[in-house]
Amino acid sequence: MLHPAVKEAGILPEDGEEIAVQVAYTPKSHCFGCGPAHPDGLHLESKRIEHGLEARVSLPAKYCAFPGILNGGILSTLLDCHGNWTAAIALMDRSCLPKPPLTLTASMLVSYKEPSPPDTELIVRSHVVAVRENQNPGLGKAAVEVDVAVLLPQADGSEKLLVQGTACWT
């Protein structure tokens, strides 16, 4: 179920077409990975799915480490930004906040399973694994553990796992 402020935030405009959480909540952000206002950024646009977010992105060859293989740092940037938004939206929904709180990456483990191609639609998908309350009330918000992946759609409708990450945001 979506947060009651979703429509007011502009995530579900009149035409019913969902817009990205980055555009809805931080349209002037200059974050390289997900900032709508960054002139040369990746412009990740994450939309809600059950228990997480999903984005579709195609990265140009200028982000390759080797011919035909995207740079691992660029891919981990996608995971970091997408997972961060997943954690922030989870905390917003959980506490019925009008906008997502600031969340910061506490830790992230990334595993590269297959080379990721440029100029090809990739899926970035995340889901919340757990929300853990701070054991010291008043000393900070909860920690959110998120699994996030970069997937390559296949012709048969399946998806190939390219990059997998698990991270914690506070």
What is the distance between the alpha carbons of residues 32 and 167, in angstroms, rounded to a whole number? Answer: 19
What's the maximum distance between 2 C-alpha atoms anywhere in the chain? 51
What is the distance between the alpha carbons of residues 128 and 146, in angstroms, rounded to a whole number? Answer: 5
What is the distance between the alpha carbons of residues 60 and 130, in angstroms, rounded to a whole number? Answer: 34
pLDDT at residue 140 in the model: 64
Q: How many domains does the chain have?
A: 1
pLDDT at residue 137 in the model: 62
Q: Is residue 139 part of a domain?
A: yes
Q: Is residue 1 part of a domain?
A: no
pTM: 0.88
Domain of 67? 6-169
* Domain CATH code at residue 84: 3.10.129.10
For residue 94, give the 3-state DSSP assignment: helix
pLDDT band (50, 70, 90) for residue 17: confident
pLDDT band (50, 70, 90) for residue 1: very low
Q: Is residue 118 part of a domain?
A: yes
